[in-house]
Amino acid sequence: MNSTLSYDDYCTEIVTQADLLASVLTKDTALTTSVPSCPDWNLAQLLRHLGEAHRWVEEIVRTRATEPPPDTALRTLPRDTTQTPPELAAWLTEGAGLLATALRATSPDTRIWTPLPSGSPLFFARRMAHETVIHRCDATLALGADFAVDQHIAIDTMDEWMELGSLPEMFDFHPDRRELLGPGRTLHFHATDTPPEAAADWLVDLTGDALAWRRSAEEAAVSVRAPLTDLLLLIYGRRPADDEAFEVLGDAELLDFYLARVLFG
């Protein structure tokens, strides 16, 4: 795993991002509000999902689990809740804190169960930090508020998405991703609002036997230019490619095909 952030950075971000999410909830927030970017959920379900994910991973890390515990609470998300928005916000931030504490009490090299090849708490620290970032985005957009994320967090969130989407194991879970492969199929994503030293350019190469990516500003069959946060929302399926935020140069059909096949989650 190539990461630009430290293990402790991820622990901090889990709490920071949960706190930021909780801050958009007021006593008058309607928890029945639909979440357009997670169309099967309302706001209560989104918050419950994230809070249960924090607690599920906390149990894995704290117990040094070698197999996954039951995930019933993650899969059972009732649309109604008796909790008020402030109560649900407090429950969410409590779970984030518990997870960060468990991670910090565990060496990042400890061998534990993870859903993808890694077997270390570092995988979960990074995954849960970015999971919290993206679901904060979902809640923020559902409530009609502006979403922003620090540059260094957004870049690492982009990197992790590229890494996970390119794992060979993904062909086992999503055989249709092999349809992406073909000659001349390359995509370039460029952040227009970052300094050169940020190297905020991603090249996706679909010309080989597997999905591949690298940080590069090479020419490609299709290039997408936009501010960094908008790029992040594009690849996570939170904003459509035809949004005015994006300048698409080249094979727009390839971009649509790629985004439809390599979905988050």
Distance CA 41, CA 45 (A): 6
Q: Tell me 34's DSSP state.
A: B
CA angle 256, 262, 263 (to 5 degrees): 100
pLDDT tens string 149-187: 999 999 999 999 999 888 888 888 888 889 999 999 999
What one-character-per-residue DSSP string does 198-249 give? G--EEEEE-SSSS-EEEE-----SEEEEE-HHHHHHHHTTSS-TTSTT-EEE
Look at the pTM and tell me if it is higher than 0.85. Answer: yes
What is the pLDDT, as a whole number, of residue 190? 98
| CATH class of the domain at 154-261 | alpha beta
- Residue 2: the pLDDT is 61
Q: How far apart are CA 112 and CA 106, in angstroms?
A: 10
Of 130, 117, 105, the closest CA to residue 4 belongs to 130
In CATH, 7-147 is 1.20.120.450: yes
The ranges of the chain with pLDDT < 50 are none
Over the stretch 49-72, which tens digit does the pLDDT of each residue have?
999 999 999 999 999 999 999 888
Q: Which of 232-246 are b and which e, b meaning 16 or more Cβ less than 10 Å from the residue's Cβ?
A: bbbbbbbbebeeebb
Q: Any idea where the domains of the chain sit in the sequence? A: 7-147, 154-261
